[in-house]
């Protein structure tokens, strides 16, 4: 009887500890917080507004452009690391494509004052794909990222256009300037 009790208890503990998180963004951030984060994020993750520069992209006259970008994006998954107060998000946004597609962007952020980011890092960007694929593959990649798994296995050089578009051998994210760097273009000398 005692062995059955201990076996049952061990199985119960094991089953609850192995339960996978669903990373529901509503359990991590309110709808208003998600929108604020998306608004600030789109200034970095989107192309520049027409006539904007990286120095002027936060000017109010470009709000219309980034508001539109926010309306085409949604937070799919969220995790809050309370130890270092960092949020990890997987954001889906409409991709420029003939058929309806989305792309996923995984970010790590630390919130600053007045809706700014104290830290911002894009960990990876996914290839354009149908929304259900972004959700399914994105959740797998997001979980792998949070668990410290090797994402390079899903880079283009190994998996073509199935998972991660970049980083790759050419593109890396520069946390200091909060942009993707192109190693090929950085080495070209313009006259």
Instruction: Evaluate if residue 5 carries a pLDDT over 80.
Output: no
pTM for the predicted model, two decimal places = 0.84
Tokens, residue 13: 């503990």
| Percent share of the chain, pLDDT over 90 | 76
| Helices 31-45, 63-71: inter-axial angle, 10-degree rounding | 120
CA distance 147 to 164: 17
Round the average pLDDT of the chain to a whole number and report it: 88
pLDDT digits 0-9 by tens, 177-188: 999 999 888 654
User: Which residue is associated with the tokens 């578009």?
Assistant: 165
CA distance 160 to 127: 10
pLDDT digits 0-9 by tens, 62-75: 999 999 999 999 99
- Each domain of the chain, given as residue ranges in start order, spans 21-150
């Amino acid at each position: 009887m005692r062995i059955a009790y201990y076996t049952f208890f061990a199985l119960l503990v094991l089953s609850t500890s192995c339960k996978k998180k669903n990373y529901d963004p509503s359990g991590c951030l309110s709808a208003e917080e998600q929108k604020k984060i998306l608004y600030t994020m789109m200034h970095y993750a989107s192309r520049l507004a027409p006539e904007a520069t990286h120095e002027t992209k936060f000017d109010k006259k470009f709000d219309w452009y980034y508001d539109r970008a926010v309306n085409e994006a949604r937070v799919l998954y969220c995790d809050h690391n309370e130890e270092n107060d960092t949020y990890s998000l997987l954001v889906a946004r409409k991709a420029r494509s003939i058929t309806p597609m989305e792309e996923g962007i995984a970010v790590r952020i630390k919130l600053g004052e007045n809706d700014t980011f104290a830290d911002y890092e894009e960990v990876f960007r996914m290839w354009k794909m149908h929304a259900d694929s972004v959700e399914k593959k994105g959740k797998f990649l997001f979980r792998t990222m949070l668990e410290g798994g090797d994402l390079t296995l899903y880079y283009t050089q190994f998996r073509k256009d199935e998972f991660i578009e970049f980083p790759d051998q050419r593109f890396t994210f520069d946390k200091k300037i909060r942009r993707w760097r192109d190693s090929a273009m950085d080495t070209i000398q313009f006259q």
